[in-house]
């Protein structure tokens, strides 16, 4: 691990903490934008770590409203979402500086992973707590905020100077 990568990872985790304070519903917040941006710049492992830490901070600030085990599963889901987002973007974009096709595909997969797939993973734990109506109510909010987080991360990535993008690691 290089110093630049450690510093950027720490910066993105700090930005996740700021985003964790912008809550929409319970523990749904704008904490994942730095994770998606970190996944684009630093790669899947760093993005996964940033995404996990971002959700942990949001859950801590909210007082673990859905219970500790549920938030652990969400952390794992966030890590998987960031890693898949990064891997898909890198595979489709190949050597392009910015690929709209890759961003779109990775973004759609990110929203699907962060919305419906996450809720399916959480069904055994959440169904007894909030019921089917609660699960259905979470879906559009979770998917919508995921789409906004991804769109914001992609916009920031597009606007970054080339010298910063050169940090991007090759897999």
CB environment 37-69: b (16+ within 10 A), e (fewer): bbbbbbbbbbbbbbbbbbbbbbbeebebebeee
Instruction: Locate the domains of the chain by residue range.
Output: 3-165
pLDDT in tens, the chain (171 residues): 688 889 999 999 999 999 988 888 877 889 999 999 999 999 999 999 999 999 998 888 888 888 899 999 999 999 999 999 999 999 998 878 788 999 999 999 999 999 999 999 999 998 998 899 989 999 999 999 999 999 999 999 998 887 566 665 544
Q: Which CATH architecture has domain 3-165?
A: Orthogonal Bundle (1.10)
Among 122, 114, 124, 119, which residue's Cα sits nearest to residue 146? 114
Provide the pLDDT for residue 171.
44
- Find residue 23's DSSP bridge partners: 29
Residue with tokens 């898949």: 84
pTM of the model: 0.90
Provide the pLDDT for residue 144.
95
């Amino acid at each position: 691990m290089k110093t630049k990568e450690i510093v950027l990872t720490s910066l993105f985790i700090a930005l996740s903490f700021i985003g964790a304070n912008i809550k929409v519903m319970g523990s749904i917040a704008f904490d994942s934008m730095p994770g998606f941006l970190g996944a684009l710049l630093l790669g899947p492992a760093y993005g996964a770590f940033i995404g996990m830490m971002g959700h942990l901070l949001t859950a801590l600030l909210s007082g673990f409203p859905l219970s500790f085990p549920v938030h652990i599963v969400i952390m794992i889901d966030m890590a998987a979402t960031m890693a898949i987002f990064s891997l898909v973007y890198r595979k489709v974009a190949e050597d392009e500086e910015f690929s709209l096709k890759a961003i779109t595909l990775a973004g759609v997969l990110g929203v699907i992973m962060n919305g419906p797939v996450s809720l399916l993973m959480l069904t055994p734990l959440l169904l007894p707590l909030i019921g089917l109506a609660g699960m259905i109510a979470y879906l559009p909010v979770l998917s919508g905020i995921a789409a906004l987080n991804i769109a914001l991360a992609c916009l920031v990535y597009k606007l970054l100077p080339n010298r910063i993008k050169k940090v991007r690691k090759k897999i």
